[in-house]
Chain A
Amino acid sequence: TQLLEQSPQFLSIQEGENLTVYCNSSSVFSSLQWYRQEPGEGPVLLVTVVTGGEVKKLKRLTFQFGDARKDSSLHITAAQPGDTGLYLCAGDRLIGKLIFGQGTELSVKP
């Protein structure tokens, strides 16, 4: 059973476009993390959201945690080729045991 559903699975856009990636679940999480992974490397944490309704911004990236702490979104403004990569959401239900989504492969073409 996949507890975290990410959509879309693949996204190919032109430089300068905006995009949103969604992470949804029927389960409540105490926190939710977003990671970015490049080919052949391990994922690197971008942000952790903890409070329902929380919004965090990281330059052109905006992360939101749903009010019920069951879903989250990642919005990228004016995407650049350097944003290309695999974006993973991960929910924390037990200490240290993160549940990962299936990932969204983003390709930003110049």
Chain B
Amino acid sequence: AQTVTQSQPEMSVQEAETVTLSCTYDTSESDYYLFWYKQPPSRQMILVIRQEAYKQQNATENRFSVNFQKAAKSFSLKISDSQLGDAAMYFCAYGLGETSGSRLTFGEGTQLTVNP
């Protein structure tokens, strides 16, 4: 079974600084996908970024980028120029490349605090 581990229950960063959230996963599959979701106090699950395992290039979305190390099964999220609105719980998730009904397996989450 696939597992996802986020070893940092809490992180904090100063506004405008950069922070990196860690995620490791365990799988024997070669075709899979990785996601970072953000959950602010409103509880809404918001997709931040996604990475296809077959792509060597790291995904980026504006201030958000990932460091995907397939051999090490590591998928960290870097947030640059942190803003107060980035404060949230961040979840790393793994999805298998199945042709139907791919469940997401989530990590335990990292609570990010942004200090003004």
Question: Are both chains from one complex?
Answer: no
